[in-house]
Chains A and B, each alone.
Chain A
């Protein structure tokens, strides 16, 4: 499971990104799959997208970073290419647990946000 799941997630996210580019919407079956894999975290991530709380910041050199406006009004930084967010939820829900999959989930959710921005 720990080995297979990231591959499944990557494929699901790729399909979602392709669907968004094609029809500017995410099919319901993909959203259900996300909810199945990530539970309530997927809903929270998509809610951030709906509220336009995610900003992609790009430097002229091509380096990217995401800035997320939390519900408390504070802004947090998510690194684009790997598993880190400066929000308290990441510190409590991911760093304090030893399940490495949760770190990958952070990346996956970030990619969901990214696909939703397009």
Chain B
């Protein structure tokens, strides 16, 4: 993907984000094939209630669905939302996360893994909803920034693997 084809926008508040999503259909230019919201946690810091958080999730899905409709037979408009959670979430955060998971059933969790020298390692787990499949990888960033992805070395009956699936820990 060429950088010139990416349109960067920086709504400074959840109110501005609502305005952007509600008016996205009026923007001229090519129909996007992917909407990517990075840093959802920044907007949730404004402490929206459950209904406002649900509205944001639903509005993101509605906007992507509208663009998919406009793309017609040439493909769908994808939607990716990145959220960084706290390791020790309070009950309000847990409720908000549970609510968002209902709107976004397919999730990819990134958990810091034991640092393997040299570089930083993450355990990546992709879950396709409650009944869906699950896959895991090891993502390694070398000191010079190079990224390498390898299959997670799971074994049949690996207890740590099962624990990760049920707890759905912080990314």
Residues of A within 8 A of B (CB): 3, 59, 61-63, 79-84, 86, 90-91, 95-96, 98, 100, 103
Decide: A62 near B66, CB < 8 A? Known: A79-B58, A86-B55: yes
Q: Verify A82–B66 contact, CB threshold 8 A.
A: no
Which of A81, A98, A100, A103 is in CB contact (< 8 Å) with B62?
Answer: A81
Docked complex Cα distance between A3 and B61 (Å): 21
Which chain A positions have C-beta within 8 A of B99?
95
Q: Does the CB pair B69–A91 fall under 8 Å?
A: no
> Once A and B bind, how many residue pairs between them come within 8 Å at the CB atom?
51
Which residues of B, 22-78, contact A by the 8 Å Cβ criterion? 25-26, 50-51, 54-55, 57-59, 61-62, 65-66, 69-70
B residues near A (Cβ < 8 Å) are: 25-26, 50-51, 54-55, 57-59, 61-62, 65-66, 69-70, 98-99, 102-103, 105, 131
Partner of A96, one of B50, B57, B66: B50
Report whether B62 and A59 are in contact in the complex, using a CB–CB cutoff of 8 Å.
Answer: no
B58 contacts A84, C-beta separation under 8 Å = yes
- Who on chain A is nearest to B70 by CB? A62
Q: Which of B25, B51, B55 contacts A61 (CB 8 A)?
A: B25
Chain B residue nearest in CB terms to A82: B61
Give chain B residues whose Cβ lies under 8 Å from the Cβ of A100: 102, 105
Point out the residues of chain A lying under 8 angstroms from B105, CB to CB: 100
Task: Give the CA-CA distance A96 to B131 in the complex, in Å.
Answer: 22
Main SS at interface, chain A: loop
Of the A-B pairs whose beta carbons lie under 8 Å apart in the complex, a sample of 15, sorted by A's number, is: A59-B26, A63-B25, A63-B66, A79-B58, A79-B62, A82-B62, A84-B58, A84-B59, A86-B51, A86-B55, A95-B51, A96-B50, A98-B102, A100-B102, A103-B102
Do A84 and B55 touch across chains, with their CB atoms under 8 A apart? yes
Contact A84 B25 (CB under 8 A): no
Complex Cα distance A30/B58, Å? Answer: 29
How far is the CB of B106 from the nearest CB of chain A, in Å? 13
- Chain B residues near A82: list those with CB within 8 A: 58, 61-62, 65, 103
- Minimal Cβ-Cβ distance residue in A for B68: A81
State whether A84 touches B70 (Cβ < 8 A).
no
B65 neighbours in A (Cβ, 8 Å)? 81-82
Complex interface: chain B residues within 8 A of A62 (CB): 25, 66, 69-70
